[in-house]
């Protein structure tokens, strides 16, 4: 078991350069929720887009303190009624959409790097510093533990149809499991694996590692291509909704867009800190990134910056779009979750 006192030093080996602590000294934060703007925001329709987005305007409509330490991940539930957060103090929480805490999932004092809903929203999978992934129901009942990794579980996700679990670990492996905890596949890497994602159809797996490479595999573990171009760790990876592109975020302070052959389509350059998270919008027409420079940024598929979202007082680490794509949640080392309303501008 790793104590809270050892968490800062543990995080240091997973980061680069002279950086602030993941868990800074707690400071008071005013809870500020604009209920009128948030109450019915999740299911509003989004306007159709032209081929390339030219601008997106983002306005913060909600902010709440989610944890007593850094918030590492945030995700909307598939029905849009809840938020899921994970933190560096061993806490995972389920919230209603107004920022009221509903359930806490106990993990002792391990950093929780990953927390994600199943596609139907009935279950939650978490990945922790103790090398274990855990399956929960929404009431907080532990259903299954996935053991076998020899180091941190940095990513734990469901397959699109919800019948498999994928885990990525600092032990250099990615593993596929059934829901009963039986390991079905192991994909070995030469170095720590920080991130992994399923393609929308569940047939392919993309991984990102500390050897600066992203890789594309088939579901049987056959390597299909390597995505070469980053100059530091690949921290986050995502498939486009149509499955035709892959986006990566890196400690080299850039993000990149790739085709499935491994060709770089665009570089998203502008962040001045490690890029921690990357997500496609739900229509696949633009990309959101979160960085240790405290900003969240939106980009079109040519790598042009559309918007810069300022407000976080420390590293921006996690991102999640609402089901309709109209809102974006960001999580940060300032202990907060912020929700941004996205209004689409004119298009090319």
pTM of structure: 0.86
Span 146-172, average pLDDT = 98
Portion of the chain with pLDDT greater than 70, in percent: 84
Gap between the Cα atoms of 73 and 268, Å rounded: 21
Return d(Cα 189, Cα 209) in angstroms, integer.
8
In this model, does residue 10 exceed pLDDT 90?
A: no
280-326 pLDDT per residue, tens:
999 999 999 999 999 999 999 999 999 999 999 999 999 999 999 99
The residue assigned the tokens 């990945």 is 127
Handedness of CA 248, 251, 252, 254 (dihedral sign): positive
Between CA 284 and CA 290 the distance in angstroms is 17
Q: Tell me the three state secondary structure of residue 4.
A: helix
- Asked if residue 123 lies in contact with residue 78, where contact means CB atoms within 8 angstroms, the answer is no
Q: Give backbone dihedrals phi and psi of 12, rounded to 5 degrees, phi first.
A: -60, -30
Coil, helix or strand at residue 7: helix
Q: What is the pLDDT of residue 224?
A: 98
**CA separation, residue 233 to residues 15, 61, 92, 280 (Å):** 9, 33, 25, 20
> Does residue 17 surpass a pLDDT of 50?
no
Whether the CB-CB separation of 168 and 174 falls below 8 Å is answered with yes
**Confidence (pLDDT) at 51:** 62
């Amino acid at each position: 078991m790793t104590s809270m006192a050892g968490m800062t030093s543990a995080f240091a080996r997973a980061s680069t350069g002279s950086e602030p602590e993941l868990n800074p000294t707690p400071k008071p934060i005013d809870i500020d929720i604009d209920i009128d703007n948030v109450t019915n925001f999740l299911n509003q329709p989004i306007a159709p887009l032209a081929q390339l987005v030219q601008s997106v305007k983002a306005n913060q409509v909600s902010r709440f303190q989610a944890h007593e330490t850094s918030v590492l991940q945030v995700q909307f539930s598939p029905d849009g009624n809840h938020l899921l957060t994970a933190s560096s103090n061993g806490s995972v929480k389920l919230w209603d959409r107004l920022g009221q805490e509903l359930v806490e999932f106990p993990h002792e004092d391990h950093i929780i790097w990953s927390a994600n809903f199943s596609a139907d929203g009935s279950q939650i999978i978490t990945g922790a510093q103790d090398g274990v992934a855990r399956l929960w129901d929404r009431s907080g009942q532990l259903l299954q533990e996935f053991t076998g990794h020899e180091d941190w579980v940095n990513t734990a996700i469901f397959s699109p149809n919800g019948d498999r679990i994928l885990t990525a670990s600092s032990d250099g492996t990615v593993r596929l499991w059934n829901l009963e905890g039986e390991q079905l596949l192991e994909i070995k890497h030469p170095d720590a694996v920080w991130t992994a994602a399923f393609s929308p159809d569940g047939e392919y797996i993309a991984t990102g590692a500390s050897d600066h490479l992203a890789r594309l595999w088939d579901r049987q573990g056959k390597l299909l291509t390597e995505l070469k171009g980053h100059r530091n760790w690949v921290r986050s990876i995502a498939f486009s909704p149509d499955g035709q592109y892959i986006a990566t975020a890196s400690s080299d302070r850039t993000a990149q867009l790739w085709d499935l052959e491994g060709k770089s389509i665009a570089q998203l350059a502008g962040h001045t800190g490690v890029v921690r998270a990357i997500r496609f919008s739900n229509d696949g027409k633009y990309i959101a990134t979160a960085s240790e420079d405290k900003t969240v940024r939106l980009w079109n598929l040519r790598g042009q910056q559309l918007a810069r979202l300022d407000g976080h007082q420390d590293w921006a680490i996690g991102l999640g779009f609402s089901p309709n794509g109209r809102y974006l949640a960001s999580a940060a080392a300032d202990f907060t979750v912020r929700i941004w309303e996205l209004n689409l501008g004119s298009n090319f």
